[in-house]
Amino acid sequence: MGLLRVMMPPKLQLLALLAFAVAMFFLENQIQKLEESRGKLERAIARHEVREIEQRHTQDGLRERDLSASVLSDSEEDVVIIYNRVPKTASTSFTNIAYDLCGKNHYHVLHINTTKNNPVMSIQDQVRFVKNVTEWREMKPAFYHGHVSFLDFTKFGVKKKPIYINVIRDPIERLVSYYYFLRFGDDYRPGLRRRKQGDKKCSKCLSGGSDCAPEKLWLQIPFFCGHYSECWNVGSQWALEQAKYNLVNEYMLVGVTEELEDFVMMLEAALPRFFRGATELYKTGKKSHLRKTSEKKPPTKESTAKLQQSAIWKMENEFYEFALEQFQFVRAHAVREKDGELYLLAQNFFYEKIYPKN
């Protein structure tokens, strides 16, 4: 620059300085514009990344919601109920409600028909039955019913057990009903001829007839006790205790014949997937609960008192009273009566103090 100043005239030197200054200003302006453009680009990229993240979160949330809904739906569709019905406890009347509702509520009803109504299955049939109940997906959700004693599914390595329900009855009333049923049938199939003949007076039967022997009372205990040999040893204290244990630990709900409407109402509240509309059907239906044993007459006080002296009646009655107390306990926390009508209680729990806070 010093050499140029010597050789260039002053005017040219001034012009050169001005040109240099203009060039520097232009260059700085371009650099500033580039910086601004780069900032805009970075902000655009950042906004795009944020949108992508938000979109992924939204999609993940939708997938999780869909998955949760799918899991819930699958769990509802995978439900199996087993009603191992005790004879002459209004079991046919209750089962007819399930048949009436299965089309509307979209589930299957299957009758377990054992040879000669034997309530105990062979070990090979137990395996087949457990496999059918747990793996027969085409039949799920399902309501199985039949005169079969309780079967413990956990013994066969099953993770998801079926839901057991049942109904029991005052043991003497059940025996009297069964006695007359075998001789006269009922109004469900009035034309069917029954195989039992002979004495038609239950009072005489209760006074010593073989069909009304105390051993004939031993039925509800073994049905709840299950497939153990001791369950079927008449008068077994172990069987009584096992039946009690199963009732409170393996059955979702056990009702009593004398309070069947309450039983139906609580099932509808607890398992609407199966029993939606059951209470109204029970109250107004024309066929679901009309089965009655024909020609049934109550026994005399003397014959009833004689039967109640037996140790077997005392055990069966103890089990019945135990089941009745449990049912009334459950009902007291689920149902209220007002003006002669039953009402289900509203939900009585809620969630609070939910952490972490979002």
Catalytically active residues, by annotation: 145, 147
Q: Which two tokens stand for residue 252?
A: 């979702």
Q: Which two tokens stand for residue 211?
A: 């069909």
Cα–Cα distance, 71 to 267 (Å, whole number): 23
Decide the pairing of beta strands 335-338 and 341-344: antiparallel
Decide the pairing of beta strands 108-111 and 142-145: parallel
Decide the pairing of beta strands 108-111 and 341-344: unpaired
Cα–Cα distance, 46 to 52 (Å, whole number): 10
Residues 6+ apart with CB under 8 A from 94: 83, 85, 167, 260, 263, 264, 289
Q: What does the DSSP assignment read for 142-194?
A: EEEE-S-----GGGGT-SSPPEEEEEE--HHHHHHHHHHHHHH-BSSSTTPPP
Q: Helix, strand, coil: what percent of the chain each, to 5?
A: 60, 10, 30
CA 156 to chain CA centroid, Å, is 21
Cα–Cα distance, 155 to 312 (Å, whole number): 29
Cα–Cα distance, 278 to 285 (Å, whole number): 9
Helix, strand, or coil (residue 293):
strand
User: For 261-266, which contacts have Cβ atoms below 8 Å and span 24 or more sequence positions?
Assistant: 261/342, 262/327, 262/331, 262/335, 262/342, 263/94, 263/167, 263/327, 264/94, 264/97, 265/335, 265/342, 265/344, 266/330, 266/331, 266/334, 266/335, 266/344
* CB neighbour burial string for 106-117, b if at least 16 within 10 angstroms, e if fewer: ebebbebeeeee
Cα–Cα distance, 103 to 109 (Å, whole number): 10
Q: Which two tokens stand for residue 267?
A: 């099932």
